Structure 1
Amino acid sequence: MEPWLFALISSPLCLTATVFNIIFFFCLMRPVSGVTLRNPLRFLLIVVLFNSTFQQLLTALAIIMLLFESPFWLQTLLRVLIYQFFCGNFSCNAWISIFYHMSIVPQHRAIFIWIRRNIRVVLYVGFVLNQIMLLFSLTLGTVSYFMLEPVPENFTSHDLNTTSAESLELDLYLFHVANFLYLLYCTCPMITLLISWGKTFVYLREHIKKMGQSSESFSQPQQKSQMRVTVTGMVQAALFLPSSLWTVAVAALFITDLFEIVDPHRFITMTFCSASSLGNILCFGFSQSVFRHGIVSVINKLKMNALC
């Protein structure tokens, strides 16, 4: 991808996502009357907005850096931070889907009943472990990437002494370990999203059929909210799938050393990150009542001020 095309596509995505992030953060901090949002869901949404905001700001910085020459280490560090904040929401989305699945779908097995009763502890511990794994893999990958030295095309074991050869082999090994951990981190949330939202949707669909056969009305606010959250979750998973597949492909290509050919300047990857982050935020804006009612409240206030 050419630099100008990256800037042309990513600039409006960054601006739009940042505006929504600010609005939604305000809605979380000052919810309208009658809307309550408790932890751990509130905590996860704050993390999502935090990660998305910093990712978009760093992407905007990457666009600005196209105007002048910047050192290689700064470009690499900036891209790693973008991946860090973008992928940090992978586990957030997965844990949100698990939270809703446990809240909506009745559980019968002992292990799932225990998880449902202790969902806060399970979620917080799992989230922290996920973030440690992501931070470790990206840090290890970055350090080993900087330590790797260019190897001549006619390299043989006789060209370097034993110490240099062993050092190069160790750096390559650590780099591949980091990519494997990154690949594992990106794959698990994708599978979790598809399974949890899929099972929740199937349960609600069967529940609606039973209510229709018994002539019951599907008009209760809680049931409508559950269906809206589930359908939006499926849309979110569909939007999340292309970016997560690309991220998994990036990790696989890094292992095979083909990524430098496919996306040498990381413009395609950063564009995917910006588009997916915006889609993710918009899905939350539709599914979460704290965001919907907050935006409606802001619009009504603006109308009243305009009339006055």
Structure 2
Amino acid sequence: MFHSIHWSFSISISLKTFQSVNVPLSLFSIFMDIFFIFCLSPVSEQQRLKPPLLVLLGSLVGCNTALHFFTLLFVLSDFANSLSETDSYSFYYFTAQCLLFTMRVSITSCLWLNVFYYCQIVPARHPFLIMLKRNIRLFVYSALIIDKFFFLEEFIVYIASYLIRLYRKPEIYNSTYTNMVTNALIVDIWLRLVYFFFSVCMMLASGCATISYLRRHMRNMEKSSRSSARLQSQLRVTITGIIQTLLYLLCSVWLILDDVAFYLTTADFDQKAYIFYTVISLYSFGTNINLGVGQTVFREQAILIWQKLFGSFLD
């Protein structure tokens, strides 16, 4: 019932290729995340980030750490060769759901991080934006909690659906359960499409509006022969936010294509989920690079550590 379109093609990568890409990628990303956690826990009170920025960055770093941990666990355990076919697929499925959950929470944190910087940088004129700017902390916290519950509910539904299907009774599965799963799948795909377009539009709108304002402001400062390092830092953060939106766009399009090919066609589309894992890992790695370049707290700490190491080496 799911495979209604008959396509005879195959897309996959080998286990060796998957391991050679994801092992160094995950290890390097985990080391970066450890460094970010160190930067988010400064010794002095003056260096401490204020919420909700600290919460947003902490959520991003935590999700990326968990995501690469799951990927590394999958690669190193070599379940594909040591377990039976059913157990292997169960491991793939559970790990995939964990990766999807952490990736979606990471995307949510990126979305509200863009909105937060927009509210902090661009002067508010519309009554709704004025209200949003005054209550940005409450708004961000509420959005993060609601989004996490939404994604957690989806995670539980998919896990429960898989367990029921795994231990099903044939007579139930062939009638009632098949219709329930099909309807739930259609609803889930539409919800994900709506959320996908909402997130992209929000991230692009906030990022482009912030860049437009900063460019006008920097042009005015150049005419008056003034410069501001703070404005350049804000512009850097906004540009990395736009890049993050493009990363999310590419990653989400691939995941939607993966869902469509798996559920609605007969194509042999990434049966071992190696491409699936790799795409998410690359997205998370790109997010880490953006954090390192765009966030002042990470960049300045990295420069400080480099100067200390380089200076001690010269001494």
Q: TM-score if structure 2 supplies the norm length?
A: 0.85
1:153 equivalent in structure 2: none
Q: Which residue of 2 aligns with 1:51?
A: 63
Give the share of equivalent positions with the same residue, in percent. Answer: 25
Please identify, of 60-69 and 140-149, the stretch whose mean Cα deviation from structure 2 is larger: 140-149
**Rounded Cα–Cα distance in structure 1 between residues aligned with 2:213 and 2:25:** 35
CA displacement, residues 117-143 of structure 1 (integer Å, 9 cap, x when unaligned) = 000000000111111111112221232
| 3-state SS of paired residue (1:132) | helix
Partners of 2:41 and 2:66 in 1: CA distance:
18
| One of 291, 299, 303 as aligned partner of 2:310 | 303
Deviation at 1:36, TM superposition (A): 4.3
Check whether the contact 2:33–2:64 (CA below 8 A) recurs between aligned residues: yes
1:171, 1:86 → 2: CA distance? 24
Contact 1:101 1:196 in 2 (8 A): yes
Note the C-alpha offset of 1:114. 0.3
- Structure having greater relative contact order (Cα 8 Å, sep ≥ 6): 2
Q: What is the CA-CA distance between 1:177 and the residue it aligns to?
A: 2.8
Matched, 1:170 2:183: no
- For the pair 1:266 / 2:273, whether they are aligned, the reply is yes
Identify unmatched segments of 5+ residues in structure 1. Answer: 151-159
Residue matched to 2:189: 179
Map Cα deviations across residues 79-132 of structure 1 (whole Å, 9 max, x no partner).
111111122101000000000111111121111110110000000001111111
Shift of 1:207: 2.5
- Alignment: residue pair count: 297
Q: TM (normalized to structure 1)?
A: 0.86
Tell me if 1:69 matches 2:82: yes
Asked if residue 117 in structure 1 is aligned to residue 117 in structure 2, the reply is no
**Aligned pairs (5 A) from 1:1-308:** 1-30=13-42, 35-66=47-78, 68-70=81-83, 71=87, 72-148=89-165, 164-212=174-222, 215-253=223-261, 256-258=263-265, 261-306=268-313
Q: Which runs of 5+ in 2 are unaligned?
A: 1-12
Residues 214-240 of structure 1: CA deviation (Å, up to 9, x unaligned):
x22352232122112112222222333
Cα distance in structure 2, aligned partners of 1:250 and 1:32: 47
Check whether the contact 2:218–2:227 (CA below 8 A) recurs between aligned residues. Answer: no
CA shift, 1:163, in A, is 8.5
Counterpart-to-counterpart distance in 1, 2:259 and 2:131: 35
